[in-house]
Chains A and B, each alone.
Chain A
Amino acid sequence: DAGVIQSPRHEVTEMGQEVTLRCKPISGHDYLFWYRQTMMRGLELLIYFNNNVPIDDSGMPEDRFSAKMPNASFSTLKIQPSEPRDSAVYFCASSPGAKAFFGQGTRLTVV
């Protein structure tokens, strides 16, 4: 199993641009999580899905952030418009129940 796959690994974009992060969970995992990691706030849960349905999006910082999971093997996190303070590492994780397995992350830099 290749594990959780995220793309791109690195993204540099200009302020105001739309950014889309992608995630392919481990096959058979019912849960998918999006986390953001910064030095100031550590690991923050943004949103999670169960069986492709968003369960809790209370961690999404603003309306500029949106996430979708159109099927069991794909999810996106979109930021529109992006701002410099969105710069962080974004992790996707999937879980069959309790144990969460993380992808390698996307390092986003908004200039």
Chain B
Amino acid sequence: GENVEQHPSTLSVQEGDSAVIKCTYSDSASNYFPWYKQELGKRPQLIIDIRSNVGEKKDQRIAVTLNKTAKHFSLHITETQPEDSAVYFCAASKRAGANNLFFGTGTRLTVIP
């Protein structure tokens, strides 16, 4: 099955700085890579996703990059704000037939005001 590794497990940045979270996956057949944000005591919420036919995707202060050859993908948050503080999860899945998402272990991001 798929194995998704995520680094770092914790990350602290000053408000206004950038944050980068990295994930690797093992199954070259995986072709869908979402990122979820989970605030304390709340549900994981999808913030951005990328498919394997795209190398980069941006949505305001958030961007995701994908390197299929190296089997890794990253989340970039620019101009961080205190409300960005949360646990971020990456995931990978194959679309055809099986639709189960394999999650990374999460990164706890703290933005220091």
Whether the pair A99, B46 counts as a contact (CB closer than 8 A) is yes
Whether the pair B42, A42 counts as a contact (CB closer than 8 A) is no
Whether the pair B100, A45 counts as a contact (CB closer than 8 A) is yes
User: In chain A between 63 and 111, which residues have their CB closer than 8 angstroms to a CB of chain B?
Assistant: 91, 95, 97-105
User: In chain B between 34 and 66, which residues have their CB closer than 8 angstroms to a CB of chain A?
Assistant: 34, 36, 42-46, 49
Contact of A100 among B42, B46, B104 (CB under 8 A): B46
Q: A42-B103, A45-B102 are in contact. Are A99 and B43 (CB under 8 A)?
A: no
The minimal Cβ–Cβ distance linking B3 to chain A, given in whole angstroms, is 13
Whether the pair A103, B43 counts as a contact (CB closer than 8 A) is yes
Which segment of B16-24, B71-79, B91-99 sits at the interface? B91-99
Number of B residues near A (Cβ < 8 Å) is 21
Residue B101 is within 8 A (CB to CB) of chain A in the complex: yes
Chain A residues closer than 8 Å to B89, beta-carbon distance:
42-43
Chain A residues closer than 8 Å to B44, beta-carbon distance:
43, 91, 102
Whether the pair B102, A100 counts as a contact (CB closer than 8 A) is no
Question: Closest 3 interchain pairs by CB?
Answer: A102-B43, A43-B103, A42-B105
B-side interface residues toward A, CB under 8 Å?
32, 34, 36, 42-46, 49, 89, 93, 95, 98-106
A-side interface residues toward B, CB under 8 Å?
31, 33, 42-43, 45, 48, 50, 55-56, 91, 95, 97-105
- List 19 extra interface pairs beyond A98-B93, A102-B45, CB under 8 A: A33-B101, A42-B89, A42-B105, A42-B106, A43-B89, A43-B106, A55-B100, A56-B98, A56-B100, A98-B32, A98-B34, A98-B49, A98-B95, A98-B99, A99-B34, A99-B46, A100-B34, A102-B44, A103-B43
